[in-house]
Amino acid sequence: MHSPPHSAAPITSHQNARVRQLRAAFANQSRDGRIAVEGPHLVAEALRSNPSNATLFLSEAFDPTRLTVSIPRSVEQILLSDEVFDRAALTDTPQGVALLFSPPTPPTRPGTALLLVACSLQDPGNLGTLIRSAEAFGATALATTPNSVSPWNQKTLRASAGSALRMPITIGLTTDALAKLQRSGVRIFASVARNGIPYHSADLTAPCAILVGNEGAGLAPEYLALADQLLTIPTPGQVESLNAAVAGSVLLAEAARQRAATPQKSSLRKQK
């Protein structure tokens, strides 16, 4: 690890161009498409992903030994006064270290296709939880449809606990793209609160995509129309339906259970 530039004079102007870049990324308004993460844990996870076009921002008070990963020499380092860092971070309790970098593009994970599709999901905590579950239960990729919250939203990144930096994520997946996957042999399962078959009776060992809908409205008609099968998670208690992140996680866990118990079937054919 090479030493952060604490011997250099810190930036003290809130109007500094580099500070404005960081602030814009935290507000999801970056002009160059870069994203920002804050705090020792997420910054360390991002550094492990070999980020490109990366700049590390440190406050004067931050102890660099809190980072549990080496800082690549390709990463630019900038020292900010505590006040400038705190205002740029836009959080209630800034932690003194942030990384600005281009979104990672991990390759699709190996194995029989298991795609989780978040359809018009609006809550960043729900999406972050789904991304974390997708990594934990062996999904090969995750996608969001148009009008979904960004996986690079600060709350999404924190809720994913770093999984958003490691999972292959497609943003803006359209119904046409889903239909193309379906024609290639991927079965589409839609999670619904009622009127579907019990989720544990569906065969989730073949190449498939699991659709999870909006927190309030559920899946829109155009997504339901594409589904090969509707899946319902029975709730014998008084609760009528599950939170979107919980429902998606339960379905992913069931897919993982089935795949561990059954030899996997043919993988998705390569797209031309």
Residue 183 has pLDDT above 50, yes or no: yes
CATH number of 17-101: 3.30.1330.30
* Alpha-carbon span 5 to 142, nearest angstrom: 38
**Which neighbouring-strand residues pair with 58?**
79, 97
| DSSP state letters, 246-268 | HHHHHHHHHHHHHHHHS---PPP
Q: Residue range 14-26: average pLDDT?
A: 94
* Alpha-carbon span 100 to 107, nearest angstrom: 21
Cα 268 → chain centroid: 23
* Alpha-carbon span 230 to 212, nearest angstrom: 11
Fold equal for 17-101 and 114-261 = no
8 and 78 Cβ atoms separated by less than 8 Å: no
pLDDT, residue 49, reads: 87
Q: Which residue has the higher pLDDT, 30 or 220?
A: 220
Residue 169: both structure tokens together: 């994520």
DSSP code for 237: S
Report CA dihedral (84, 88, 92, 95) to the nearest 10 degrees. Answer: -70
Assign 264 a pLDDT band (cuts: 50, 70, 90).
low
Report the 10 Å Cβ neighbour count for 74.
10
* Alpha-carbon span 63 to 209, nearest angstrom: 44
Kindly report which listed range (46-60, 85-99, 174-188) carries the lowest average pLDDT score.
85-99
pLDDT, residue 5, reads: 54
Q: Where are the domains of the chain?
A: 17-101, 114-261
pLDDT, residue 267, reads: 46
Residue 24: both structure tokens together: 């814009």
User: 114-261 has which fold?
Assistant: Alpha/beta knot (3.40.1280)
Residue 270 has pLDDT above 50, yes or no: no
* Alpha-carbon span 251 to 230, nearest angstrom: 12
User: Is 112 in a helix, a strand, or coil?
Assistant: coil
- Measured N-to-C along each axis, helices 244-261 and 124-136 cross at an angle, to the nearest 10 degrees, of 10
pLDDT, residue 8, reads: 72
